[in-house]
Amino acid sequence: MHIDEPGAPQRGHVLLIAGDAAVRRRAVQVAPSANVAAVAAVPSAVLLGSQVPSDTTYLDGARDPHTVLLRLRAAAATSGPLLVYLSGRLTLDRRGRHLHLALAGTTASSVRYTAFPWEWLGTELRARSAGLTTVVLDLVADKSAWPVLQEYGSLPGSPSAEVYGVVVPPAFAGGHDGVSPYTRHWVEQLRRGPHRPGNVQVHAFAVGAAALPPGTLVLPATRALSAQPAQSQSQSQSAEDPRPHIHALASGGRHEEAAALARAWEQHALRACGPGSSEAAHWAEIRADLARMAGDYRLATRLWIRAGTTRLERHAPDAPEVLAAGAGALYCWTQLKDQAAAREAGPELLRLLGALPSLEPRLLHLTQQRLQALDSVAGRH
């Protein structure tokens, strides 16, 4: 029975795929088997956010991309909610310049024959109805794939699926062979309470807590987690949305131009809608993510804190918009290498995080510990 046929019985599916491990200088950067095992330990009803009957397929150690394709095709044919989780090493077919998920035994010379073409994922999920499909990724890009990802500024997916996850750059040292930080915190968020958080909330806090390496590709970008289309007056009159153009400038390395354009739109939102408006907060979030892309974590932290404080005035403390801003502020603050800047922003960050009742207590405790350490160092000088 076709998944969209009226009267089709609802049944969900969880598909967990462990690709090849990513290793740098003999240190494991991502251990897909450990990640998939951690996700598999979560009940399927929690993973899917649904009580419909469901099936689970666990693929670990596959060597044939067509085996993965058949499992994906069967999962995509399910009539109900579908979660696809993929972990492993993203690599490139250098001849065709196509991205692939490396499978067991994949080498640089055998990518075309032994790795799973990334475009197959989007192709197989394309026919599914919107709102039924979630894809979660915990990947490391190798040296061949990373430049292509930087060109894209994202990772191609299917428009019918919600895609969440991270792609870590090839340069970080790794040093563990257990569950990677993003997946670990993602699982912890799902298992925390009697009520399953929304995907946006789970992803936002996993990103904020994972202390990801600089340059990590976050999907979607933090600015997009809470982004509803900005309803400024000019946009409500058929004017062109400037955000794709701004993002394209930043992705192309033209950070000053992107920042200047975003500041202009923020000023317009402030004049048109007021400093406490959702529109003004939204543009502060965009500016925060542009600052992150440019490596200016000091400005990014300050803007995320400001956006979160503004959001708190209009939304409940556990609203996705507030939680996403808190996660963005926390992540950027952890990336600050300038101790004076981190010490300066710390108290405001603590006030914001302290206002979020669903925040994992350990995150608040770790933030307090770091701020105390920074104050201690400053007191000795």
Residue 143, SS3 per DSSP: coil
DSSP assignment string, 152-214: HTS----TTEEEEEEEE-TTS-----S--HHHHHHHHHHHSSSSPPPHHHHHHHHHHHS-PPT
pLDDT, position 241: 67
Tokens of 325: 């801003």
Tokens of 69: 């394709």
Task: List CB contacts of 1: < 8 A, sequence separation 6 or more.
Answer: 8, 9, 79
What is residue 229's DSSP assignment?
P
> What is the separation, in whole angstroms, between the first and last Cα of the chain?
72
Cis preceding linkage at 213, omega within 30: no
pLDDT, position 213: 78
Buried residues in 128-142 as b, exposed as e (16+ CB within 10 A): beeebbbbbbbbbbb
Tokens of 144: 């061949």
CA within 13 Å, CB half, 47: 27
Contact in structure between 285 and 226 (CB atoms under 8 Å) = yes
The alpha carbons of the chain give a radius of gyration, in whole angstroms, of 21
Per-residue pLDDT of the chain (381 residues; tens, 9 = 90+): 334 444 556 899 999 999 998 877 677 788 999 999 999 999 999 999 999 999 999 999 899 999 999 999 999 999 999 999 999 999 999 887 899 999 998 999 999 999 999 999 999 999 998 889 999 999 999 999 999 988 877 787 778 899 999 998 887 766 566 899 899 989 988 887 667 777 877 786 677 667 777 778 888 754 444 443 333 333 333 735 677 778 777 877 888 878 887 887 888 788 778 888 888 888 999 999 999 999 999 999 999 999 999 999 888 888 888 888 888 899 899 899 898 999 999 999 999 999 988 777 888 888 888 888 888 876 665
How many whole angstroms separate alpha carbon 20 and alpha carbon 65? 12
pLDDT, position 378: 67
How many whole angstroms separate alpha carbon 365 and alpha carbon 371? 10
